[in-house]
Structure 1
Amino acid sequence: MRYLLLALLALSHSLAAQPWRVVGDEQFAPYSYVTPESDTPHGLDVELVDAVLREAKVPYEIRLYPWERVKRMLDRGEVQMAFQFAGTPQRQEQYELVGPLRSGSTVFMTTAKTAIKDWQALEDFSPYVIGQVRGYSYEENFDRADLARDTSAQNPRQLVSMLLAGRIDIIVGDRVQLQYFVREQRAQEQVRVLPRPLIQMPRFVAFAKGDIERARQFSEALVRLRNAGKLDEIQQRWAQ
């Protein structure tokens, strides 16, 4: 019996020592991205997650992949944690969400091609084709609305390119991110953001449903860093 107990304790210690496999979106600049020269993760959210995991004192490794693969890896149990999930009811049913890690403003961006100046109801978008990234969740009512959509974009950079090429009328996404890719193409004068945002969207990290212990460890470390002002310091550095 004593040997069995020792074996179980050794197994528990071994599992605890195994690094968490953490994954995020490789095409979500400036929040998470890889460069053509290296697959090393970069971005604001990468730094936030890195800081929290170091505070939690757990071994980990962070890798970035296409978003659809990120979700599949978490769903199949191939990784222990993933980011950056929108806090929609659908995601809350699927995963143990912890956070928010940060919040971002989800907006509509268009060009001079369209007559729309602002919107009051989702029906105002009925005359237009709205581009969105395949597999992304935006806001519950918008996601369910009966609107003409183009979901062929695989990432936000491609979505901005489609708008600039005139293939779609309007795109939806994170304000900072869309503007980042517009500046990348030196197209600031060609686009405009509608004044009213769709939502102020909190972004969460996700664990498999039922993985309460890892979710607790991350949550407690996140609260400690937020209370100490460390997360604000990281965000302010990226805002400069």
Structure 2
Amino acid sequence: MPYLARLLTALLLSCMSLLAHAERLRIVTDPWAPYVYEENGQPKGIDYEVTAEVFKRLGVEVDWQFMPWRRCMLMVDQGLADGVLDIFQNAQRSSQLFYPNEPLSEVEFVLFQANDRPHAVNSLDDLRDLTVGTSAGYDYGKAFLESPLFRREAAPTQEANFGKLQRGRIDLVITDRRVGRYMLAQLGLEQQISELPLVIDRQRQYLAVRRNAGMDLLAQRFAAELRRFKQEPAYAELHARYGDVTPGITKTVEQQERSTP
């Protein structure tokens, strides 16, 4: 009987997994280059390409939708999306979503300043009476979000934030280091705006799926395949194409494969 019970349980779980994959997954995400974005109507980005490759290996088809972050979370909450790409993990979200136990990437939130209006910032205390441009719905860590020392002013896009910084409407912009560097290159502001060394917060980014039947198994399979992919040269080459160097990747590979997305 114990063997029969285990067999029936395995069959049930397999059926649940098949049901979960019977239809295309709908994954939502907020454009955040170079991790995930659209170019000429086509999805691109480091984390998008990694995720797409893992799903391809798992035989799972995906419909991608790009929208503002708050709408992404609303779609998931209402059951209109199966998962969300590049999401941070916290206790509240973990009660609603399954997270693979392997992250896609790690972000570092830093500050960017206009070179003609520099600020000496070594801690949050040095932001006193300043205005920092943020993105609505983003989690920069409790200390930053709850500090009464400075003002936080949200903008609809990264481009808008850096435009306001350039024009002197805000004092600083907070965003991920890779995102900020990418935006400065795209906007031609590399000589006018620079990043500060202080790291405000670090977060890991995941693909998370809604807590439906069988989706926990999908999350486990995704994590296992992602770990395998990270050990392959193709993973390093993908990062190098976006001008990024992953741990253990030599400078030679970066120089050979580097190109702008």
- Does TM, scored on the shorter chain, surpass 0.5? yes
Question: What residue number does 1:100 align with?
Answer: 103
Q: Matched residues in 2 for 1:17 and 1:24: separation? A: 22
Residues 61-210 of structure 1: matches in 2 within 5 Å? 61-98=63-100, 99-112=102-115, 114-120=117-123, 122-209=124-211
2:28 pairs with 1:23: yes
Aligned residue type for 1:110: Q
Q: Matched residues in 2 for 1:221 and 1:11: separation? A: 20
CA contact (8 A) 1:113 1:169 kept: no
CA contact (8 A) 1:132 1:149 kept: no
Q: Give the direction of change, closer, same or farther, for the CA distance of 1:13–1:173 in structure 2 (3 Å limit).
A: closer
The offset of 1:114, in angstroms, is 4.2
CA contact (8 A) 1:85 1:91 kept: no
The offset of 1:91, in angstroms, is 4.2
The offset of 1:169, in angstroms, is 0.4
CA contact (8 A) 2:109 2:176 kept: yes
User: Which structure has more strand as a fraction of its residues?
Assistant: 1
Choose which of 56, 59, 62 in structure 1 pairs with 2:61.
Answer: 59
Choose which of 204, 214, 232 in structure 1 pairs with 2:218.
Answer: 214
Helix, strand or coil for the counterpart of 1:105? strand
Residues 3-18 of structure 1: matches in 2 within 5 Å? 13=18, 15-18=20-23
Q: Give the direction of change, closer, same or farther, for the CA distance of 1:95–1:146 in structure 2 (3 Å limit).
A: farther
Helix, strand or coil for the counterpart of 2:76? helix
Taking only the aligned residue pairs, the percentage that are identical comes to: 24
Aligned residue type for 1:234: L
Q: Give the direction of change, closer, same or farther, for the CA distance of 1:139–1:230 in structure 2 (3 Å limit).
A: farther
CA contact (8 A) 2:131 2:151 kept: yes
CA contact (8 A) 1:102 1:202 kept: yes
Q: Matched residues in 2 for 1:90 and 1:156: separation? A: 26
Q: Give the direction of change, closer, same or farther, for the CA distance of 1:112–1:87 in structure 2 (3 Å limit).
A: same
Aligned residue type for 2:114: T
The offset of 1:90, in angstroms, is 5.0
TM-score, normalised relative to structure 1: 0.83
Q: Give the direction of change, closer, same or farther, for the CA distance of 1:64–1:115 in structure 2 (3 Å limit).
A: closer
Q: Give the direction of change, closer, same or farther, for the CA distance of 1:93–1:196 in structure 2 (3 Å limit).
A: farther
Choose which of 234, 237, 241 in structure 2 pairs with 1:237.
Answer: 241
The offset of 1:183, in angstroms, is 2.1
Root mean square deviation of aligned Cα: 2.5
Helix, strand or coil for the counterpart of 1:195? strand
CA contact (8 A) 2:28 2:67 kept: yes
Residues matched between the structures, number: 228
Q: Matched residues in 2 for 1:14 and 1:89: separation? A: 28
Q: Matched residues in 2 for 1:150 and 1:234: separation? A: 35
CA contact (8 A) 2:120 2:126 kept: no
Question: What residue number does 2:253 align with?
Answer: none
Helix, strand or coil for the counterpart of 1:212? helix
Aligned residue type for 1:109: F
TM-score, normalised relative to structure 2: 0.77
Q: Kindly provide the CA deviation profile for residues 99-139 of structure 1, in whole angstroms up to 9, marking residues without a partner as x.
A: 3101232211112454522313x222112111100111122
Question: What residue number does 2:36 align with?
Answer: 32
